Amino acid sequence: MQVYRWDLDKTYLQTDIDSVRGLVRSAIEPASAKRAVPGAPALLRELARERPGWRPRIFILSGSPTQMRPVLEQKLRMDGVRFDEFVLKDNLGNLRKGRLRAVRGQFGYKLPQLLRARVGLGSAVRESLFGDDAEVDALVYSVYADAIAGRIGPTELSRLLAASGAYPDHIVEALAALRRVAQADAVDRIFIRLDRGRPLTLFEPLGPRVVPVRSWFEAALTLYGSGELSAVGVERVRASIGLTDSELVGYFASVLGRGFVEASALSQLLNEVTPDPMWAACEGELARGPFAYRPPIPPGGIDYLDVLRGFAR
């Protein structure tokens, strides 16, 4: 079984969470007014597509308040997106308790939720995670991946949560969930949409498992390379975005040049897609090789406290 874990704001939905006006608008606008990030609905639909012996699970974890559940679920249904779990943040409860750090903080909220969601899944279950660079998704996903793999122990996990501003009960919840998780090196890739345009150097300490993308089409190409998306699926994502010739070639060259996909896989893709001048232009990029493939292996010895400070700047 494969699990795909998605964030919502700025990952799936085009929302302004950086201003009070944007937050208010996001809270009151109907589902019909909400706009998805180009390519996100098509990519999620393709990832959720079942086939014989393949029943993927979709887990959505968002910092949006629980009161928005009806309208957010309606938006996902309108987009034809199937999901298995959908977790939102109890911000009203946090405010009632005077827990202001928990209202804005994401690390101390998401990590315990991710660990709880992993409980009961066998060690053979693989995962890919999707987020953005507006918050600390790349960091919290990487810590989660290393925690369930046993590379981060309870002491370091507790220290990281405390440094992120997590409240003591959230730390206790995270450690309790970690004890119940079947240890497994289960996370394949962490896709991060570059909404704020943060420099790629920020993600380098987290290793090639983290895949920063400018478009979900780049993620679709990468997932084709790992066998999780069909050529038809890649074409559907491309069509949903409406890429120009230069954009398609640019994204194709980017994933190839950064080593996200093996050149042989992209060559096979060009053989499988419907003949189209847009795709034909990509053949010239392959001819520029050879290209070095960077398998998404987790790096060792990450100084997560230092990375946390880097994300805070």
**Model confidence band, residue 151 (pLDDT cutoffs 50, 70, 90):** very high
pLDDT value at position 22? 53
In the structure encoding, which two tokens stand for residue 31, read together? 């589902």
What span, in angstroms and rounded, lies between the C-alpha atoms of 312 and 297? 25
pLDDT value at position 50? 84
pLDDT single digits (tens) 179-194: 999 999 999 999 999 9
Q: Does 282 score more than 60 pLDDT?
A: yes
Q: What burial class does residue 313 get, using C-beta atoms within 10 Å of its C-beta: 0-12 exposed, 13-18 middle, 19+ buried? A: exposed
**Model confidence band, residue 154 (pLDDT cutoffs 50, 70, 90):** very high
Answer whether 22's CB lies under 8 Å from 15's CB.
Answer: yes
What span, in angstroms and rounded, lies between the C-alpha atoms of 179 and 70? 33
pLDDT single digits (tens) 94-106: 788 777 777 778 9
For 200-215, what is the mean pLDDT? Answer: 95
Answer whether 116's CB lies under 8 Å from 176's CB.
Answer: no
pLDDT single digits (tens) 209-255: 999 999 999 999 999 999 999 999 999 999 999 999 999 999 999 99
- Residue whose entry in the numeric block shows the structure tokens 């990832």: 47
pLDDT value at position 3? 97
pLDDT value at position 254? 96
CA 84 to chain centre: 16
pLDDT value at position 253? 96
- Residue whose entry in the numeric block shows the structure tokens 């608008």: 25
Choice between 105 and 12, residue whose per-residue pLDDT is larger: 12
pLDDT value at position 7? 97
Measured over all CA atoms, what is the biggest interatomic distance in the chain, rounded to whole angstroms?
61
For 288-303, what is the mean pLDDT? Answer: 89
Nearest Cα residue to 247 out of 212, 221, 223: 221
**Model confidence band, residue 55 (pLDDT cutoffs 50, 70, 90):** confident
51 secondary structure, DSSP code: B
Q: Indicate the domain borders of the chain.
A: 2-209+302-312, 216-286
**CA torsion angle 220 226 227 232 (round to 10):** 20
Q: Does 1 score more than 90 pLDDT?
A: no
Is the torsion defined by CA of 83, 89, 92, 93 positive or negative?
A: positive
Nearest Cα residue to 12 out of 42, 32, 33: 42
